[in-house]
Amino acid sequence: MKEAAWMLAGLEHVEEAVMVTDADLLNGPRILYVNSAFECTTGWHRADVLGRSSSILHGPDTDRLELQRVRDTLAKGRAVRATLLQYARDGRTYWSRSRIHPIAGEGGAFEAFVSLQTDLTVEHRLNAERGRLAEWFERGASGALSALYMLSPRRDGEGRIVDFTCEYCNPMGGLLMRRDPRALVGRSVREAVPGSRIEKLVALCREVMDDQQPRIEEYEVPEYPASMRWLRHQIVPLSDGVTISAENITARKTAEIELRQREGMLHAFLENCPGLAWIADDKGNMLAANAAYIELLQSMGSRPLPATLWELYPKEQADLYLQNTIRVADSGQPERVLEPSVRSDGSMGLFETFKFPLGPRGEVRLVGGIAIDITDREGEHRIAERLASIVRSSGDAIISLDPAGHILSWNRGADELYGHAAEEAIGSHLSLLVPPDRIAESETMIDRVLAGESLVRFETVRMRRNGGLAHVQLSLSSIADRDGRCVGISEIATDIGERHRQEAQSRYFAEHDPVTGALNEHGLLLATARRIRERPGDCAVMLRLSMDRYFEFRDVFGATHAAEMMRQVIRRLEQAGDVQPQEVALVGPNEFAMLAGCWGGGEAELAERLEALQAHMGRPLEVKGIEVSLRAQCGGAMFPRHADNAEELLRCADLALGISRRRADRRPVVYDPAMGTDVAYQVRLQHELRRAVERGQLRVVLQPIYDSRGPAARIIGMEALARWTHPELGVVPPQQFIPVAEESGLICEIGSFVLKEACRLKAAVDAAGHEELFLSVNVSRDQFRAGGLPEEVAAALEASGVAGDRLELEITESLLMEHTAEGEQQLARLGRMGVGLVVDDFGTGYSSLAYLQRFPLTKLKIDRSFVSGLPQDRGANEIVRTILALAGSLGLKAVAEGVETAEQHDALQQLGCRQYQGYLFSHPLEAGEFKSLLVRRNQGGAPSQA
């Protein structure tokens, strides 16, 4: 006996899973002993498996032929090895390699089998991953547009690399070499590569292997046809070889050669052009010019290029050049213009200029030009007339002023821009065109120009004859006489009204929601920053609101109704007298923010005002004939107490709103600096919840459901609820981790676990003689929308042996109202399986009798918000009475949840409700406690009044 104890103690420390069974191969060996490694591998506790068949480790995907081979070998008394896919307690599969040995008793008969199992799951995953990566490589390499070769070195007797052998070649590699890729494998580089490349390629590969640094090379192969003349190699080192990727770059090389040839021809053309050729930008910079132009500039004593137009020419002349350049850049079309300029002999002449756009370069636009001197052709006597004609016909408004600001000349562009005829404008003061609030600005500009300064591209506002305003861009320069004295001012005005309107429209939509017209988050931040900047010493409040049920309403009634609802919410917020909003913004589909002034009462008064705002926003709305009841959640923060800038103030209000959302009582929250810790807790909660699912920290508890018909309440069913106990955080309430699961996408995985585990617990209750009890399981919106719910339910029922008509699925009213074709098919399939369908939280959403009659529903669940108002709330009484009457008329059952007081129970009984659940009867119980409760009930015990 001592030796046996020693042996068992030793087996406890063996890393392999050990299982000892009896030798009953006919009925399936029963488990007699398992060690700790077995518990870790399978998830089965020792107490749960002793005496049970070893088939609990098998599942639908276990190889039955392999199992039969194992039984046949053991029946002959021989040890056997087998690799099998097995199932852990939670349904997880794993691969194991088992060595099973028969143990003979004193009489020689086999009495037991000892199985030593090694978990091969990680090994299988690694092999599968290697296979997947190998398949990826093969597919990627085979379909690659570049040639790919893998070469291994050939060495002489002294270990020096003298050649390379092709170990792999993809299809494109064969095409490039003009051979079958399979025929290249095993061939040396010297056998496959053209003669002109052999020594160069071998040397490059040798260098790459020596210094383990990749090489890139572009080269020409004279032996190849013209279409494959230029190639590009990239040689990368391997552990004992190299990889070469090659591609045909003949087209690119040919294009580069042609481009260099064209550039050479263009350069030759410009240098030999009889006129002046240049490139400038729309900022007034002369960037480059041909030899003739540079020679002219040098004769004028100008500085070398690049230079600004005002460094090369008189101001008025430079302004004119720039205006023409900008016009060509704006239109994107070439243009022929006549411009005055200096001739090679130093005299002024007339030039015919061809300007053409060259496109953008960084933040500027380039324009090219070629100017030809036509002075001699036109005649000296016509130059003045032509220059005057240019000014008259210009699309820009060009006027000249005397030093006192009186208008001396007026062109056609000024007629069109300002609306005044030349006769009424000439002789008038410039103030004719200046709005009253811009007089000081205009006088300052004139003084600066008279002092010798040029103003270029200055944006301002001018007044039209009809009183309207014109947004213009001005260029002003002085007019000098032969002695250089300022005798006047030249002004060129370009109409930028359309651009200004477009910019204003862009700014509007950047700061406003296009559907409701309210400020968006960006606009609110700008308004808040402006408010803080203008009144830094005044207190301000940022409020954040979230309107529940928006998405349900939108899903049921559509986007048009939802947009109208948001517009009404904004109007109601603007009329919220308790908070006196200064700005209201829509910052999310159902989220709002408000900027308001302070009232002097600090956080306490802010909390009171938030309460009033929540009540104000909770009043029903009527949206296109539909009454909508919304619930608002609020959070707020104060400047400068909680934040000193707009972004931080909004963030603090966001944090407060987030805390309000997670509160069970949904009351408004005022920001507190400690809330940052709460946010960090939520982030950790999401991380730990993902690990909790993987590590089996979740469990399922059961809350009894009672029927009050008869002399005493009796248990008729149970609702499965998820619970989480963390090794460090302790018990995490469902109201904390369920929203986190929904936000992180884990809710589907948790829902699947609850369904499987609940069915397993129901099977255990059935085994204790309570098959008549039904099981109710909640189904989340994401779990239902994902599809495949009927298959998941069928698998859970089959694995547990629970009958379909003993299972109920609770689906929210809003989910039912989505009525997609796929959703209807899922509900119909579940109904055909006998599964009951319960409308959860009935009466809190947007219901329709047509939909209730359309689907195979079995029960309505009265929401706890109505039950909590009983019996004193008349409205709650009437709602419950209506729900019960509706259920009866449709042939549906009804159950009330959240029954916590005897008064609520009595009121429900008087209204005709027969099924209940809640703390009045029992808290949610662990599976063992639930079984004990059933035993006490059978023995005549009363229900728990916890």
pLDDT in tens, 890-922: 889 999 999 999 999 999 999 999 999 999 989
Please report which confidence band the pLDDT of residue 179 belongs to, taking 50, 70 and 90 as the band edges: confident
pLDDT above 80 for 133:
no
Mean pLDDT score across all residues of the chain: 85
3-class secondary-structure state, position 247: strand
pLDDT tens digits, residue range 559-616? 888 889 999 999 988 887 666 778 999 998 889 999 988 876 688 888 888 888 888 8
- Taking CA atoms, 137 is separated from 41, 83, 97, 144, 173, in Å, by 34, 29, 30, 10, 15
Q: What does the alpha-carbon distance between residue 250 and residue 631 come to, in Å, rounded to a whole number?
A: 68
pLDDT above 60 for 382:
no
Please give the model's pTM, rounded to 2 decimal places: 0.42
pLDDT tens digits, residue range 193-251? 777 778 888 899 999 999 999 998 888 877 777 777 788 889 999 888 999 988 888 88
CB 18 within 8 A of CB 31: no
Tokens of 720: 């499965």
3-class secondary-structure state, position 493: strand
Of all residues in the chain, the percent with pLDDT exceeding 90 is: 25
End-to-end CA distance of the chain: 51
Average pLDDT on 633-650 reads 90
CB 241 within 8 A of CB 167: yes
CB 459 within 8 A of CB 472: yes
pLDDT score at 718: 96
Choose among 633, 619, 618, 620: nearest CA to 667: 633
User: DSSP assignment of 391-416, as one string?
Assistant: HHH-SSEEEEE-TTSBEEEE-HHHHH
Please report which confidence band the pLDDT of residue 420 belongs to, taking 50, 70 and 90 as the band edges: very high
Average pLDDT on 550-560 reads 83
CB 743 within 8 A of CB 737: no
Q: Give 110 or 513, the one with higher predicted confidence.
A: 513
pLDDT score at 946: 32
User: DSSP assignment of 823-886, as one string?
Assistant: HHHHHHHHHHTT-EEEEEEETSS---HHHHHHS---EEEE-HHHHTTTTT-HHHHHHHHHHHHH
What count of Cα atoms within 13 Å lies in the side-chain half-sphere of residue 843?
24
Average pLDDT on 161-177 reads 87
Least confident of 175-184, 444-453, 536-545: 175-184
Q: What does the alpha-carbon distance between residue 174 and residue 439 come to, in Å, rounded to a whole number?
A: 80
pLDDT score at 867: 92
pLDDT above 50 for 945:
no
* H or E element in which residue 784 lies: helix 781-785
Q: What does the alpha-carbon distance between residue 230 and residue 255 come to, in Å, rounded to a whole number?
A: 12
Q: What does the alpha-carbon distance between residue 418 and residue 410 come to, in Å, rounded to a whole number?
A: 11
Average pLDDT on 694-703 reads 89
What distance separates the 2 farthest-apart alpha carbons in the chain? 139
Q: What does the alpha-carbon distance between residue 527 and residue 920 come to, in Å, rounded to a whole number?
A: 53
Q: Give 913 or 141, the one with higher predicted confidence.
A: 913
Q: Label residue 755 exposed, middle or buried (CB < 10 Å: 0-12, 13-18, 19+).
A: buried
Q: Give 582 or 766, the one with higher predicted confidence.
A: 766
Q: What does the alpha-carbon distance between residue 392 and residue 412 come to, in Å, rounded to a whole number?
A: 6
CB-based contacts of 104, cutoff 8 Å, min separation 6 = 77, 110, 111
Cα torsion angle, 48, 54, 55, 61, sign = positive
pLDDT score at 819: 61
pLDDT tens digits, residue range 488-510? 888 888 888 888 888 888 888 88
For 594, other C-beta atoms within 10 Å of its C-beta total 25
199: phi > 0 → left, psi -120 to 50 → alpha, else beta; which?
A: alpha
3-class secondary-structure state, position 706: strand
CB 673 within 8 A of CB 651: no
Average pLDDT on 244-265 reads 80
3-class secondary-structure state, position 587: strand
pLDDT score at 359: 86
What is the torsion angle, in degrees rounded to the nearest 10, for the CA atoms of residue 50, residue 56, residue 57 and residue 60? 180
Average pLDDT on 787-811 reads 93
φ/ψ of residue 742, rounded to 5: -65, -40
E strands, 8-64, are 17-22, 31-34
Average pLDDT on 143-151 reads 83
pLDDT score at 701: 95
CB 594 within 8 A of CB 616: no
pLDDT tens digits, residue range 702-723? 999 999 876 678 899 999 999 9
For 74, other C-beta atoms within 10 Å of its C-beta total 19
Q: Label residue 563 exposed, middle or buried (CB < 10 Å: 0-12, 13-18, 19+).
A: middle
Tokens of 409: 């000349």
